[in-house]
Structure 1
């Protein structure tokens, strides 16, 4: 196991302060590369902290879901956002149920786009 992976569970003590930077990155849809990188960081943190990410999930999920309503959001950010739903779900388990009503329409829409692209 790499050294950085060993220290990631201890990262929870920094999340309160670090969260504001995550939030800024997720809101930065004009700079889509920064937004995409931030989504990747959220995914890594979810895998490392597991259920310790729960206090931050409302804000993270709100911003991920809000990003899908922004027409200017670069399409390359949408796939990582969807993958992030899965990482959050794996991290918090059954606690993800409260987000299902909001995430499922996005997942359904993404599946329909993928099917149309495949069939055409």
Structure 2
């Protein structure tokens, strides 16, 4: 909780900012950040972390468009798992 959650949320916000700035060029970093995003999506106890991660997924899909397609099955699996738990 606490400090770790704040750091995790700040990291997600930083990822979101990078996605906004880099746009389609962010795809080269996707393999490095998705595990972190998946971890945040699986953090059911921390609503703010989960909510921020969902926002990042939205940013990714909006800006990467079809380049995100190869990752969508895994992303959707994590999102559906979150829905099932909540």
User: Same fold per TM (> 0.5)?
Assistant: yes
TM-score under structure 1 normalisation?
Answer: 0.59
> How far did residue 105 of structure 1 move?
2.3
Q: 1:95 aligns with which of 49, 60, 67?
A: 67
Stretches of structure 2 lacking an aligned partner (at least 5 in a row):
none
Find the aligned partners of 1:67 and 1:111 in 2 and give their Cα distance.
14
The ranges of structure 1 where at least 4 consecutive aligned residues each deviate by more than 6 angstroms after the TM superposition are: none
Q: Residue 18 of structure 1 aligns with which residue?
A: none
> How far did residue 67 of structure 1 move?
3.4
> How far did residue 69 of structure 1 move?
4.0
Stretches of structure 1 lacking an aligned partner (at least 5 in a row):
1-29, 114-120
Give yes or no for the alignment of 1:53 onto 2:26. Answer: yes
Give yes or no for the alignment of 1:34 onto 2:7. Answer: yes
Bigger Rg over Cα = 1
Equivalent positions of 1:1-120 (< 5 A) are 31-69=4-42, 74-111=46-83, 113=86
Count matched residues. Answer: 84
Please provide the CA RMSD for this pair: 2.4
